[in-house]
Amino acid sequence: MSIAFKFGENINTDMIIPARYLGITDPAELAQHAMEDLDKEFIKNVRKGDVIVAGRNFGSGSSIEQAPQVIKELGIKAVIAPTVARIFYRNAFNIGLPIFESAEASKKIDSGDEISISLKTGKIINRTKNESYQVEPFPEFMQKLIENNGLVGYVKSSG
């Protein structure tokens, strides 16, 4: 079971990982600063398998690859938002972090809700509210990217 952590609209890459930490090269250490300017308690409360839910335009701003990387490093299972910046979307899938674009799920899911997600069917279930939201399932090759921890893993497994 995943717990939702909800953030607002226009969460840019500098909010996901503040630029003042980009000199840190250890991914685990860098991840300890994720979302800290938005929620000081986030890093203390987030657990492997949890989900980030946000408003429109998640991951906007600069194209720093560390933004999706810190989210993945924390063990976040997925990001749900109505819209996601294209470069962030691409960078996330390159490392195997699934992005679900759903205005309905984003609006209805609250922080603390228990969520389950099916990559194969695109079904998001909010167990707290006994609701489900349907998104377009990922094509098979994108599911394989996610299963293989991103593009590099996918290429290694295919060769």
| SS3 at position 155 | helix
Model confidence over 90-106: pLDDT tens digits?
A: 999 999 999 999 999 99
User: What is the β-pairing status of strands 78-81 and 51-53?
Assistant: parallel
Burial (CB < 10 A; 0-12, 13-18, 19+), residue 155, is exposed
Model confidence over 68-87: pLDDT tens digits?
A: 999 999 999 999 999 999 99
Q: Which distant-in-sequence residues (6+ apart) come within 8 Å of 137 by Cβ?
A: 119, 120, 121, 122
Domain with 146 in it: 2-158
For the chain, what is the domain count? 1
Short-list 115, 54, 58, 135, CA closest to 89:
58
